[in-house]
Chains A and B, each alone.
Chain A
């Protein structure tokens, strides 16, 4: 069992998942090529980078690092910059014709920013407990029965969110929180929906999207449904997750194992 603890202040951990520049388009990286950034960069640089990010980048990229459409910086790899040097150059020069401006950061500041960018996804790993990936895979399909609702790489039901790339799009702390307290961690867009049609038919499902006039969901029969709200007699989105806390069936070590397995899911092999 490995326990990551850091000296990162609590308020800074809130930034875990911040993104950096509109211009840095995250790409899916083969697992073999992915780097484990934890430990590669100095903690002091990372913390310095967080402060710089908060002051200079947060306004556009947001707390979760995904507020620029089409850009999610948490993956640590970027379409326009492969090496750290290229990333520094990009931050300095900005991207012409986009909202990404040039910046006058010093070398030390650029080191801090890049250190943070490269570790954003792992940044809030304070107090996250990891275990054994292989054991976690077994628990996912066995004792934990996670695969009774979740789908991975084309296998399993679609009732709950597909986890094929969950390790690439969610932070370790997010995932641990989801395992321990699914309701508190449930994304609003994933809320369970109960719709009563005009003829009294009841439709249950998981919300996929919603706007003022319509709602989109995946129903219990795994069909994509789009409903016009004006046609519904009732519509309610529950705030309690259908998923039980992992600790209902798994012990602490087993939760750590499952978490480690989930973090390994970064898309197709």
Chain B
């Protein structure tokens, strides 16, 4: 721990047990310096999903044991990352209930119950990925398009505002992001022919401060990348939490696929800002720059992945402000986050939809003929599951789907509000009626080798090359957490929670939790003990070292 970290830890330790401190914007800015807490979805504004806690080490990780379990009263997928503030955990129970727990024991302080409207129509699961906090207010984005502020002590609502109309296919599944005095959310619904946006609301009142349309309207730059009225139903959702650079005062958000998903002929042009990262002024929502990963995307390659921000010495005494991006399209990118300039890009899984990237990072697209398989398939080389960056190893870690493909069959489709607007279907690449394993799995693994496998891949951002990879039989939907003690925590669809050495990928610990792990592991400390939490199946499991 640094001296600053130690002081912060001592200050928190002086708080009376159970007391809730104000989570000021200053604390959010310096979240790295109080690693006993987990204050944002990705752990810090730079979204490293990395903990400075180092009590659990490669030498003692075998002594990790279960501390407590939270069993959700819902059978929906458990994809939320909890927040931990001074010994109290705030967690969304699928779908939109919020629970405050004793982070040391798992005992519940209060529970806020919210049932989304039956008008909700999420394309891909009734999920929620977590909360944001500012001062003593929690922020919940609901499946039916509402943003709710909750008193973190009382568990009661302070205000509620409507962000989007669920009957048109809009939904909110992400953890909000607080910057200064505003709370930001983006909409899901890219499979319904929506027109996406990112909103910022006054954290005190819930009033809309600004809205950034992810598809430019008539007269706005970028509108020319759409023809006719395609922009009105062009999708471009923003369903994962962004990052923030306080020095540049820019917030970065990934944008989803254009719609209809699979039929680009219905929307000629690059379709900005679909499949892009946008850099926004958090005070006004004005666009500073953008970079598009997949122009005129025919494969549903949402680019909503977590923007990972790192500062890198350039060898000349200066610091490069970079952004790392493991994209669903199968390429790993390094961008200059000050200008948006493309610096490098390398595929991290087998890719045949593009032969490579040009000097500006634009893909050289190589569409496969009808009936041929495109790699990666519709779920991508990776997807929404959080990557991690470790300052200790200097490596970027991503959960990948390898050798996974789909056959794309575009079809003309008329948009009807509230209806799925795919414009085709992803066909089975292994032949009709051949009993090919399904994408989702229960306890029996019907996936196996017929449709690729999963892997944890460590990438050196300086070269784009893989440092190591750990293959898995089944694909993985788990996020990744790394620690200052060179540990890597992750899980997989098979229900395994495994801990690896972040430098080598060596397996150090494996525990079977019996359910698919689909959230991002996180870590915190209470009363001098480090905990690691991750969800498997319909429960969240919390581990610490044996006393």
Contacts from A to B (Cβ < 8 Å):
10-11, 13-14, 16-17, 54-56, 58-60, 62-64, 66-70, 93-94, 96-99, 101-104, 124, 171, 173-174, 177, 184-189, 208-213, 237
Contacts and interface: CB of A to CB of B under 8 A. Distances in A.
B439 interface: yes
Interface in B426-442: 427-428, 432-442
A56 B446 contact: no
Secondary structure at chain B's binding surface: helix, strand, loop or mixed?
loop
B438 A67 contact: yes
B195 interface: no
Contacts of B440: 62, 67-69
B248 interface: no
B425 A101 contact: no
B164 interface: no
B125 interface: yes
A185 B435 contact: yes
B328 to A, nearest CB: 16
A102 B192 CA distance: 13
B422 A63 contact: no
A59 B191 contact: yes
B345 interface: no
Contacts of A63: 427-428, 436, 438
16 contacts: A10-B432, A11-B427, A56-B419, A60-B124, A63-B428, A94-B118, A99-B76, A102-B118, A102-B121, A104-B419, A174-B435, A177-B433, A188-B448, A211-B495, A212-B474, A213-B510
B434 A185 contact: yes
Most buried by A among B120, B437, B438, B441: B438
Given A11-B432, A64-B436, A124-B433, 7 more contacts: A16-B433, A17-B433, A96-B118, A97-B74, A97-B76, A188-B448, A188-B449
B407 to A, nearest CB: 10
B420 A213 contact: no
Interface in B441-491: 441-446, 448-450, 471-474
Contact of B438 (A64, A173, A212): A64
B413 interface: yes
Contacts of A124: 433
Contacts of B362: none
Contacts of B472: 212
Given A173-B433, A211-B496, A212-B473, A98 B76 contact: yes
Contacts, number: 124
A225 B165 CA distance: 53
Sorting the interface of chain B by its residue count into under 10, 10 to 19, 20 to 34 or 35 or more gives 35 or more
Contacts of A14: 427-428, 432-433
Contact of B434 (A54, A93, A184, A213): A184
B478 to A, nearest CB: 12
Contacts of A101: 120-122
Nearest to B516: A69
A99 B442 contact: no
Nearest to B494: A211
Given A63-B428, A212-B473, A188 B446 contact: yes
B430 to A, nearest CB: 10
Interface of B: 74-76, 95, 115, 118-126, 191, 409, 413, 416, 418-420, 422, 425, 427-428, 432-446, 448-450, 471-474, 492, 494-496, 510
B139 to A, nearest CB: 22
B118 A67 contact: no
A51 to B, nearest CB: 9
B433 A99 contact: no
A210 B191 contact: no
Given A188-B450, A209-B444, A211-B496, A59 B436 contact: no
B295 to A, nearest CB: 24
B433 A11 contact: no
Most buried by A among B118, B123, B443: B118
Contacts of B442: 69-70
A104 B418 contact: yes
Contacts of A54: 425
A173 B431 CA distance: 14
Nearest to A190: B435
B172 to A, nearest CB: 14
Contact of B126 (A66, A99, A188, A212): A99
Most buried by B among A60, A99, A171, A187: A99
A172 B57 CA distance: 56
A213 B433 contact: no
A23 to B, nearest CB: 11
Nearest to A68: B440
B62 to A, nearest CB: 16
Nearest to B416: A104
Contacts of B115: 96-97
A174 B126 contact: no
B121 A97 contact: no
A205 to B, nearest CB: 16
A38 B52 CA distance: 63
Contacts of B409: 11
Contacts of B428: 14, 63
B177 to A, nearest CB: 25
Nearest to B442: A69
Given A67-B439, A99-B125, A212-B494, A189 B419 contact: no
Contacts of A185: 434-435
Contacts of B494: 211-212
Contacts of A174: 433, 435
